[in-house]
Amino acid sequence: MSVEPADPLPAETHHLDSESRADGGHADHKAELRLWLRLLTCTTMIETEIRRRMRDRFDITLPRFDLMAQLERVPEGMTLGELSRRMMVSNGNVTGLVDRLVAEGLLQRRQSDTDRRAHYVSLTDAGHRAFVAMAAEHEDWVADLFADLGPGEVEKLMALLGAAKRSVGRSIQNAVET
């Protein structure tokens, strides 16, 4: 979790001189770097606060809550692999999380009828009830964290982050193909 400088450096703002360089070095991309650090700072701050509240209020970890959130959307359940892709974490990670949540009685797992490699997981009734209660508060926490943003700012941020997400997706795809 690296972060922005507490006091942002003397703003050599937006100084993309990629064409004006005589040396053989790489172009200057400080603006993008600062953007990444700020993005990371925002995410870390929010994540840390939500983790704290989840622990204090519900005695649950964030990864477990996140996993339950994925399952809540698909009541019939999904395979571990699908969970792994949606949560963007490794397979082994999901295996462990599911094990613990099953042990707590919040999840159930069953083997697929058609593919004996695959295991479906879904929320138990207790898991569903627990999640609904937590999700309502969670939504309020998030709303409060962003409370100083106007509706227009929220929409604008969504749009710009959407553009950023597409750019990142494209860049990663290019890297994989290479």
Partner DNA sequence: GATAGAAGCTTTAAGCTTCAAATAAATTCA
Partner DNA sequence: TGAATTTATTTGAAGCTTAAAGCTTCTATC
Question: Of residues 3-62, which lie at the interface with DNA (CB under 7 A)?
Answer: 48, 51-52, 55, 61
153: left (phi over 0), alpha (psi -120 to 50) or beta: alpha
Q: Which does 34 bind (CB under 5 to 8 A by kind): DNA, a copy of itself, none?
A: a copy of itself
> With contacts defined by CB under 7 A, how many residues of the chain interact with DNA?
33
The Cα-based distances of 13 to 4, 17, 33, 167 in angstroms read: 15, 12, 12, 22
Site string for a copy of itself, 109-138 (x = CB under 8 A): ---------------------------x--
Provide φ and ψ at 108, rounded to 5°: -130, 145
Our CB check for DNA shows the closer of 44 and 167 to be 44
C-beta separation of 166 from 100 below 8 A: no
C-beta separation of 125 from 118 below 8 A: no
Residue with tokens 């100083």: 148
Site for DNA in 158-177 (CB under 7 A): none
Q: Exactly one of 126, 132, 133, 172 binds a copy of itself (CB under 8 A); which one?
A: 172
Query: Should residue 64 be labelled a site residue for DNA when binding is judged by CB under 7 A?
Result: yes
Provide φ and ψ at 77, rounded to 5°: 95, 175
Our CB check for a copy of itself shows the closer of 8 and 110 to be 8
Residue with tokens 């094990």: 99
Q: Exactly one of 21, 44, 55, 112 binds a copy of itself (CB under 8 A); which one?
A: 44
- The letter for the amino acid at 117 is R
Q: Exactly one of 12, 42, 74, 95 binds DNA (CB under 7 A); which one?
A: 95
CB of 178 to DNA, least distance (A): 17
H-assigned helices in the chain: 30-58, 62-72, 80-87, 91-103, 125-145, 151-177
Which positions touch DNA (CB under 7 A)?
A: 1, 48, 51-52, 55, 61, 63-64, 79-82, 84, 88-98, 100, 112, 114-120
